[in-house]
Amino acid sequence: MTGMESPGAALVRGAGVTLVIVATGAFGLGGLFSDRSPGESLALRLALLTLVQLLGAGLVGLLVPRWWWLALFTAWGPVLLGGVGLYVKLRHQTTFPNVRFLVLSLALPPFLAVAGGLLGRRWGPRPS
């Protein structure tokens, strides 16, 4: 979204960012919510989620370097799930979710999104 960019190119770039945000968030939501496959370890699941989060946020940083902070929105899936879990825990005084789940869903994805957005901004063209 530079000053010399045509309106059509800006629209395509904005649509690309939106698609990346929706896809990355949905993958994070499914990755945290679904059961693991037989033979899939927790370490592998977390590594895949971390990789997808960093790649998605980095892509947002590449597509819109000046607005790299939009990469935070790639964490919508895990944060939504963690927020619902926290609400259930506080509202109904249950043991769900445990602390590990809350950290993995509420703290880690936004941190990874910021890191990915900054990395994408660093890899991409310099804003003019």
Express each pLDDT in 79-103 by its tens digit: 888 888 888 878 887 766 677 777 7
Cβ atoms of residues 98 and 85 within 8 Å = no
73 vs 5, 42, 84, CA distance in Å?
A: 24, 24, 17
**pTM strictly above 0.85:** no
Express each pLDDT in 5-22 by its tens digit: 788 888 898 999 999 999
**Centroid of chain to Cα 24:** 5
Cβ atoms of residues 77 and 26 within 8 Å = yes
114 vs 12, 37, 59, 83, CA distance in Å?
A: 23, 29, 12, 19
Q: Where are the domains of the chain?
A: 7-74+111-123
Calculate what percentage of the chain has a pLDDT beyond 90: 11
